[in-house]
Amino acid sequence: MLKKHFLKVPLALTFFLLCQTSQAGDVQNGKVLHQAKCYQCHAEKSGLGNGDILYTRLDRKAKDLAKVKSMVSMCNTELRLDLFPEDEADLVTYINQQFYKYK
């Protein structure tokens, strides 16, 4: 019984580390996080019932990739969402790929 878990933990850890290093930004993780932590408030604040419109509206705040990063960071720290830096990076990758499409 105990032996089984002995094997599982390092294996899971190895896999986790491999995933972390092989990808610059995990879009899927960003998408899940966005749905869980960001979408709802953006939907309410925009008054449109859609949390994605914020990013594509004409007078959007984030005019380039650096600004996207700083806005994500601002929402995270300002609202105390407690995201890890890796999660922030994944969110930036996701919303940029999906909405802003900056190079």
Q: Which residues make up the interface to ligand HEC (CB under 6 A)? A: 37-38, 41-42, 45, 54-55, 60-62, 68, 71-72, 75-76, 79, 81, 83, 91, 95
- Taking phi over 0 as left and psi of -120 to 50 as alpha, with beta for the rest, 82 belongs to left
Nearer to ligand HEC, 42 or 97 (CB): 42
Q: Can you tell me which residue has the tokens 């996080």?
A: 33
Nearer to ligand HEC, 29 or 76 (CB): 76
CB 91 within 8 A of CB 30: yes
Quote the CA–CA distance of 10 and 14 in Å, as a whole number.
6
Nearer to ligand HEC, 12 or 36 (CB): 36
Cα-atom radius of gyration of the chain, to the nearest Å? 17
Q: Give min distance, CB of 71 to ligand HEC, in A.
A: 4
Nearer to ligand HEC, 8 or 45 (CB): 45
Q: Give min distance, CB of 12 to ligand HEC, in A.
A: 26
Q: Give min distance, CB of 17 to ligand HEC, in A.
A: 24
CB 71 within 8 A of CB 96: no
Amino acid at 65: L
